[in-house]
Amino acid sequence: MSGSEAAADRGHVAVITGGTKGIGLACAQLLAGQGMQVFIGARSADDVQDTAAKLTAEGGGVVRGATVDVTSTDAVREFVSRAVHEFGPVDVLVNNAGISGGGVTADLTEQTWDSVLDTNLNGVFRMTHAALNEGGMRHLSWGRIINIASTAGKQGVVLGAPYSASKHGVVGFTKALGNELAPTGITVNAVCPGYVETPMAQTVRGNYARAWGISEDEVLRKFEAKIPLGRYTTPDEVAGLVGYLTSTTADAITAQALNVCGGLGNF
């Protein structure tokens, strides 16, 4: 029996950070719909409970969860141990939790810089380390680590220096770890969305509207004009690639950073 067949036999276990909103929620819905046992985490306890209950009621796999703040090593270890206690070793990790953050670089506080880097980049390292150790993935012969980076991880975003730096870091981490783990049957990839309609996207439009002195609708039109497809990507479209990467057909895809962005980035 291959590693993936053995994992599928006991039901794949997927851990998703930030699984209560936007892209993470769409990933949880899709993977649960495929019959996986999904363990979600976010900072809001109410959101975690409500989301897990709602997705489980929709059918497919069982969804449970716990609060976690990816900026805390202890919290991350406890969260992953809880997932193992509920479902067993972690076959699939989706590092999705992230925050926006930026502004005129000369005016940035070190606190903003640290908070974006600590959540978006260090959080990915912490969760990956915990999934491999507390989650037992390093002892499996098949596994998936999928990091939700961004097209901002491949090109600079104006007024988004900390965000761009964090996501470039995620892409670099993905490529290095993907190469390192390639002989083990564990693949590591980054999914790079462009503009995706989520609660974060609304916050980001609000921030640019204030910075540029225009309305949020005007910001939306400016962004849409940059996207060859002419519209934002949907969370489900991003989740679709995540779902594909969890399939055995994707066994040969590792150490890649793949865009889902309506043509915004073609590199």
| Residue positions annotated with a catalytic role | 163
Site string for ligand NDP, 179-208 (x = CB under 6 A): --------------x-xx-xxxx-------
Is the CB of 142 or the CB of 265 nearer to ligand NDP?
A: 265
Q: What are phi and psi of 135, to 5 degrees?
A: -80, -10
CB of 95 to ligand NDP, least distance (A): 8
**Judging by DSSP bridges, how do beta strands 92-95 and 13-17 pair with one another?**
parallel
Contact 235, 252 (CB under 8 A): no
Check binding of 22 to ligand NDP (CB under 6 A): yes
Interface residue with ligand NDP, options 21, 77, 126, 154 (CB under 6 A): 21
Check binding of 265 to ligand NDP (CB under 6 A): no
Site for ligand NDP in 37-96 (CB under 6 A): 41-44, 47, 68-71, 96
Check binding of 174 to ligand NDP (CB under 6 A): no
Contact 138, 181 (CB under 8 A): no
Element (H, E) at 14: strand 13-17
Alpha helices in the chain (DSSP H): 3-9, 22-33, 45-57, 73-87, 110-117, 123-132, 161-181, 199-212, 216-226, 235-245
Contact residues for ligand NDP, defined by CB under 6 A: 17-18, 20-24, 41-44, 47, 68-71, 96-99, 119, 148, 150, 193, 195-196, 198-201
